[in-house]
Amino acid sequence: MTLSDEEKKEIRAAYFRDYYGKNKEELAKKRKEKYSNDPEYREKIRIRSVALRDKKKAEYDRLLALGLVEKKTYKKRGPRTYTVVVNGVSQPAFSIAEMAKKLNRSKFVVMDWIKRGVIPKSPIRTKKGFGLYTDNMIEAISKAIVDKVTIFNKDNLGDIILGFWKDCNIGELNNEDSTGQ
């Protein structure tokens, strides 16, 4: 009994599937080692990866042009909103990143100011410990940094902001007053 070419291919494929299944971890380890030590192999894999990505994109574009698939759309995640209770009144609170947008600064600048003490740490915290700032707090910070010279006098600026916060009865809040939604 002789096997047809198709049967031989199937037997051979089954053998290699079985072999790969048994030696998967060892083979992966060898590939990773070769990838990190052999620049020619690494370049070959990179080129193969780019070619595969381009091939998949071309196929997607072709199917899109024929109307067989819908265009992929990605929903942009908006800012997370929090509600905090200050003196019995619920009001929105914002993360450092959202506060930075309202101050027309980058979040990295604002985080640096907080780290250096230019802006006091917020007494309002999320459950994970991230600081939240209300509109009144952001307005107080904004008033205090209008004069750019005061930014460099961090002790004075922090005191000014804390004074504004105390005027709004914000400085005495504790962690139980904030809830994320």
**CATH class of the domain comprising 82-180:** mainly alpha
pTM exceeds 0.85, yes or no: no
* 41, two tokens: 């192999």
pLDDT over 60 at 153, yes or no: no
pLDDT over 60 at 22, yes or no: yes
Read off the pLDDT of residues 43-52 as tens digits, 9 standing for 90 and up.
999 999 999 9
Once rounded to an integer, what is the mean pLDDT over residues 143-168?
Answer: 64
Sign of CA dihedral 40, 41, 43, 44: positive
Start-to-end CA distance of the chain, whole Å, equals 72
Choose between 2 and 53: higher pLDDT: 53
Domain extents in the chain: 5-66, 82-180
